[in-house]
């Protein structure tokens, strides 16, 4: 099959022919139809320090996908060729305390599709049946290919009561903007999102943010008074991975506010803990998606009108992956989707 592979420990990726993946008795072979590029894939492409430490070559990359079942292992009894699927990219151990208790998203030994094992940017992907999401075929495949990052947004946002609440989202990357859509759907009053990137702020406005705030020109406190808010935000969703954004958020939270931290902060990020203490804030770290409550909620919300399709700003055939990665790395994009339905 054709696949986009990190063939050597250096920047770049190659489109190469490799053997089709083999399946075990509990696995499902998926014929990939659409994939979407994540920041993680860009890190692997660019071969930054994290990638150098984490990725073993050769390895197929990618973990955001939608496809149809091609073949199932002999133990798989409830999924059939042709079924439309996506899948959870965190393969859990099944044996640790949290896995055994049904809290699989808190597994202490996850393996990442396209990170620690071969990924989805190929004509076929093999994963365990326990990682396959049997999808509603009415959901467009390209939207389904966004379920992994949408799940990050849904997990972070739905960790808290949002109905009638004022929500601050720091970082208007794809996941931040998806969080705007989710918070709106969940009935938030004001949804304010911040960034320095005008392209992404424009996308957030298109997705019905109350205020998409350009930090080059305005402050979060200014937005609060513009909206007639006096006590601060009830819910904060940190989606930038920038320590300054965390501190901006802490400074603008209401007493008793709730915060989800999704953006990866890096080492030695400094936080004003006194804001957390004196305001009585609750902070929750978010990693991945709940298996599979988040997937259920994504499906149910899309079936009831949640529309993330404006987030897809670029589409390429998989043979044009170089161009696609260039766009994804430049920051002037929402989600960049690769098509695998047409032959190469």
Site for Zn ion in 107-136 (CB under 5 A): 107
Task: Tell me which of Zn ion, ligand NAD, none is bound by residue 152, counting a contact when its beta carbon lies within the kind-specific cut-off of 5 to 8 angstroms.
Answer: ligand NAD
Residue from 307, 315, 317, 322 nearest 337 by CA: 315
CA distance 245 to 309: 27
Q: Which one, 60 or 152, has the nearer CB to ligand NAD?
A: 152
Task: Tell me which of ligand NAD, Zn ion, none is bound by residue 96, counting a contact when its beta carbon lies within the kind-specific cut-off of 5 to 8 angstroms.
Answer: Zn ion
CA distance 35 to 33: 7
As given in the structure block, the two tokens for residue 340 are 């695998």
To the nearest whole angstrom, how small is the minimum distance from the Cβ of residue 55 to ligand NAD? 16
Task: Tell me which of Zn ion, ligand NAD, none is bound by residue 39, counting a contact when its beta carbon lies within the kind-specific cut-off of 5 to 8 angstroms.
Answer: ligand NAD
Residues 6 or more apart from 202 whose CB is under 8 A from it?
Answer: 212
Give the active site residue among 7, 35, 43, 313.
43
Q: Which one, 42 or 96, has the nearer CB to Zn ion?
A: 96
Region binding Zn ion by CB under 5 A among candidate stretches 1-9, 97-105, 184-192, 266-274: 97-105
Q: Interface with ligand NAD by CB under 6 A: which residues?
A: 39, 152, 170-176, 194-197, 200, 215, 239-242, 244-245, 262-264, 286-288
- The angle formed by the CA atoms of residues 212, 332 and 316, to the nearest 5 degrees, is 130
Which listed residue (3, 61, 69, 99) binds Zn ion by CB under 5 A? 99
Residue 134 falls in the annotated catalytic set:
no
Region binding Zn ion by CB under 5 A among candidate stretches 99-107, 205-213, 241-249, 298-306: 99-107
Task: Tell me which of Zn ion, ligand NAD, none is bound by residue 262, counting a contact when its beta carbon lies within the kind-specific cut-off of 5 to 8 angstroms.
Answer: ligand NAD
The values of phi and psi at residue 152, to 5°, are -60, -45
To the nearest whole angstrom, how small is the minimum distance from the Cβ of residue 189 to Zn ion? 39
DSSP code of residue 82: T
CA distance 182 to 153: 7
Residue from 285, 29, 301 nearest 178 by CA: 301
CA distance 313 to 330: 13
Residue 314 falls in the annotated catalytic set:
no
Contact 134, 83 (CB under 8 A): yes
Q: Which residue is nearest to Zn ion (CB)?
A: 107
Catalytic residues: 40, 43
């Amino acid at each position: 099959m054709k696949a986009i592979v990190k063939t050597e420990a250096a920047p770049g990726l190659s489109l190469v022919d490799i053997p089709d993946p083999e399946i075990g008795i509990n696995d499902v072979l998926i014929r990939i139809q659409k994939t979407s590029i994540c920041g993680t894939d860009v890190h692997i492409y660019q071969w930054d320090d994290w990638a150098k430490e984490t990725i073993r070559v050769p390895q197929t990359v990618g973990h955001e996908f939608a496809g149809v079942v091609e073949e199932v292992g002999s133990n798989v009894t409830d999924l059939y060729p042709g079924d439309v699927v996506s899948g959870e990219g965190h393969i859990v151990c099944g044996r640790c305390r949290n896995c055994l208790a049904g809290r699989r998203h808190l597994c202490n030994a996850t393996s990442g599709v396209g990170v620690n094992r071969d990924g989805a940017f190929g004509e076929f992907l093999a994963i365990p049946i326990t990682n396959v999401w049997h999808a509603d075929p009415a959901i467009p495949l390209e939207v389904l290919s966004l379920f992994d990052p949408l799940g990050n947004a849904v997990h972070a946002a739905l960790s808290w009561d949002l109905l009638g609440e004022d929500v601050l989202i720091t970082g208007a990357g794809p996941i931040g903007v998806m969080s705007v859509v989710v918070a709106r759907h969940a009935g938030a009053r004001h949804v304010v999102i911040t960034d320095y990137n005008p392209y992404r702020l424009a996308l957030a406005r298109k997705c019905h943010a109350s205020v998409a705030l350009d930090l080059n020109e305005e402050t979060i406190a200014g937005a609060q008074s513009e909206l007639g808010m006096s006590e601060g935000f009830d819910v904060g969703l940190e989606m930038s991975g920038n320590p300054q954004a965390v501190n901006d958020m802490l400074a603008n939270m209401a007493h008793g506010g709730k915060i989800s931290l999704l953006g990866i902060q890096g080492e030695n990020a400094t936080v004003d803990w006194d804001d957390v203490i004196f305001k009585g804030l609750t902070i929750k770290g978010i990693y991945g998606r709940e298996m599979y409550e988040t997937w259920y909620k994504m499906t149910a919300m899309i079936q009831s009108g949640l529309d993330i399709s404006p987030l897809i700003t670029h589409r390429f055939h998989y043979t044009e992956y170089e161009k696609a990665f260039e766009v994804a790395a430049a920051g002037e994009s929402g989600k960049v989707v690769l098509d695998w339905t047409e032959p190469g």
